[in-house]
Structure formats: C-alpha cells, structure tokens
Structure 1
C-alpha cells in the first residue's frame, strides 16, 4: 500500500504509519530513510526504509504509542492551508469547515482560532509572494502565472498614449514599480477593461471623454 503523506509547518513532507509520523532522514538513488518525528522530543529510535513510496524495511520500535488524534490534526491543518491557497473563503469559514467531522480528541489538540487565522494569512502571503526583482534582462525569467491574464489568456500586446500611461502609473501606485508589480497591475487593468467592455455591450453608456 502506498504511503500517505502530509506536510509539516515548514513544508517538509512527512508520512503516516499506524498513528505515527515520520520525517525524512536521508536518501540514496534507491531508498529513502525515515525517522520518527519524535526522535528528539521522546528520543524515539523507530525508523523506516522506503522505495518508490513503499515501506521495504522497519528498524527499531517506537517508545511511545501512536496518536491518531495528532495525525488527524496535521491532516486538517494541511487541508486548511490548501483551502487558503485555492479558495477566496474568509479565514473563519475555512476554520469552521475544517472542524466539521473532527473527532473530539483531535478538536482538543487543534491550535486556537487566532493561531489558525494567522496560519491562513501566512499561507496566502507566501502563495502571493512575487519572485525577486531581476537585476537585468538576462536574469528576467517570467513564471507562467505572470504570462497569462486572470482569464488564463495570453497577454494582449499593444501600445497606447501618454494619458493611459499616466493613469496606469496611478493604478500601480509607483512611477518605477518592480517588474512583478507591473505585470500584476497589467493583468488587473486588462480585467477591469474587459469588465467595462462587457458593460458597454450590455448597453451601459461610456463615460464622457475629457476635453
């Protein structure tokens, strides 16, 4: 049976085995070596060897019982982080949904609400973090997320007039933005104008032009 994996607070992969969590210790081309994640706190010497995500050898015994509730908490927090990255739900809704079906034992081990909200905010902040600004055009590698619009289309390429340039500078909020803020603002500007076009097609009157 394939291993079931979860992720630690630092994003490191752990796997679940009979109510215990294991963290990676070392690896070769053929095997990965794992140790109980309580190897420091409880000086647990239990270890596992895996090949292609399947257990091939067990070494030593745990000096503590498995804790299904603790594993359940890790799974729930992992799911909360996924929801934070993939949805626009407010933190309270994500937390409320996460507690549905949670066992009483796991509920007692869950972090407090303020800590969970902070976890959700941090997860979203990391997900939205832009790459470092390149030092030159040679260093500029544009990730896929910055190459498409909010509708997953390729950017429209065009030139415009100085008036639009001034308005766009105000939208960005800086005369010399980072390239990532510039691209993100382009996407926002295109989405805004697409919305205006849809309104005009539906019969809305465009604003009077300034003279």
Structure 2
C-alpha cells in the first residue's frame, strides 16, 4: 500500500496491484467504468467493492512508483536527470523496466518540473545562490542553514544540524580541509 501523487498532482492509492484515485470519502479505481472501490478505516485501506477491470498489474504499480519518484526527486534535488532516472530504474523489475518510459521522456519530465516549480539552476556566482526554504531545514524540520551573510563577493554559508554540532562539541580534536585557492 502506498499513497503517491499522480502526474497532475492528485492523490493516488496503490493497493493490492490496483491504482485508485480519491473520490470524496472513497477511493475509485483509475480505470474508466470500473466499480472497484477502497475505503480507509483510519489506520489501513481495504478493498470495498470488487473490480470489473482486468486483473491487478504489478508492473503498472511499479511504473506509477517510478514516475512518482522521478517527479519527487526532480523537485527536491539538483542531481542530474541521468542520475535520477538511473536510481529510479534500479528499483524496477525487468518486466516493468521494459514498458517504462524511455530515457528522453523521463528527462523531459524532470526538465519540465524544474522549470515549472522555479527550481533554481546551478549557480554560476555567489549572488546566484538561492537556497529554497525546504533546503534550509532537515527532514525532521530542524534548522540546517545556520548562517548566511548574503555578501555577493565573499559569501559565507554554514550548514549543520543540532545533532552534528553536539557531536563536534564532544570531539577532542577537529581535522579540517578546505579549498584554499578560492579563499582569497
């Protein structure tokens, strides 16, 4: 069972080899004219009404997860499209990989998401560095960007979580390395 977003951003439920879309209080099969329904009791989802469409297709579920992961990674990180697609394809079975979208189609999806969501491209100068709010906190919503002086010529950014600072505080010695050619 998984909850994902479709390519249009609506919620989808993946359950027992079928895909469902939200329809008020129930989840309906995504296939047209299928009577398949699922309901939630608060803790879990259960099939409520039998499907009249074809048997469950695990490859279709894998492809839906593949597409969801590509869209999610495209919006969250600056990894190259090739790396995002490669990592997502590693999780596919050989049967699902055969029918999954070609590389060029997946690459266009990534480019479109990054263009539409105004995800900044790779910066060329210090002034170009824009750190979106979702990258300024950890997954547990703790502050991660501790300091930003916003100086165009000598930008200084400090990233660390509270746990990382506590760990450094407990260490007897620190060993550092840096790019001295850039520190004028």
**TM-score between both structures, scaled by the size of structure 1:** 0.57
Report the equivalent of 1:116: 106
Report the equivalent of 1:11: 9
* Alpha-carbon contact 1:70-1:109 (below 8 Å) kept: no
Where structure 2 has 5 or more consecutive residues not aligned to the other structure, the ranges are: 121-131, 137-143, 157-177
Q: Name the CA distance, whole Å, in 2 between partners of 1:72 and 1:81.
A: 14
Question: Which 4+ residue blocks in structure 1 deviate beyond 3 angstroms?
Answer: 153-156
Aligned partner of residue 21 in structure 1, secondary structure: strand
CA drift at 1:155:
6.5
CA drift at 1:82:
2.1
Report the equivalent of 1:37: 30
Where structure 1 has 5 or more consecutive residues not aligned to the other structure, the ranges are: 27-31, 131-143, 157-186, 205-211
* Alpha-carbon contact 2:148-2:155 (below 8 Å) kept: no
Aligned partner of residue 52 in structure 2, secondary structure: coil
Bigger helix share: 1
CA drift at 1:5:
0.9
What is the number of equivalent residue pairs in this alignment? Answer: 143
Q: How do 1:145-184 and structure 2 match up within 5 A?
A: 145=133, 152-153=145-146
Bigger shift: residues 5-14 or 77-86: 77-86
Report the equivalent of 2:38: 48
1:67–1:155 Cα change, 3 Å: same
TM-align CA RMSD: 3.1
Aligned partner of residue 65 in structure 2, secondary structure: helix
1:97–1:129 Cα change, 3 Å: closer
Q: How do 1:1-211 and structure 2 match up within 5 A?
A: 3-26=1-24, 32-38=25-31, 40=32, 43-52=33-42, 54-55=44-45, 58-128=48-118, 145=133, 152-153=145-146, 190=151, 192-194=153-155, 204=184
For the pair shown, which has the larger CA radius of gyration, 1 or 2?
A: 1
1:203–1:34 Cα change, 3 Å: closer
**TM-score between both structures, scaled by the size of structure 2:** 0.64
1:192–1:55 Cα change, 3 Å: same
Q: Name the CA distance, whole Å, in 2 between partners of 1:20 and 1:97.
A: 24
* Alpha-carbon contact 1:20-1:36 (below 8 Å) kept: yes
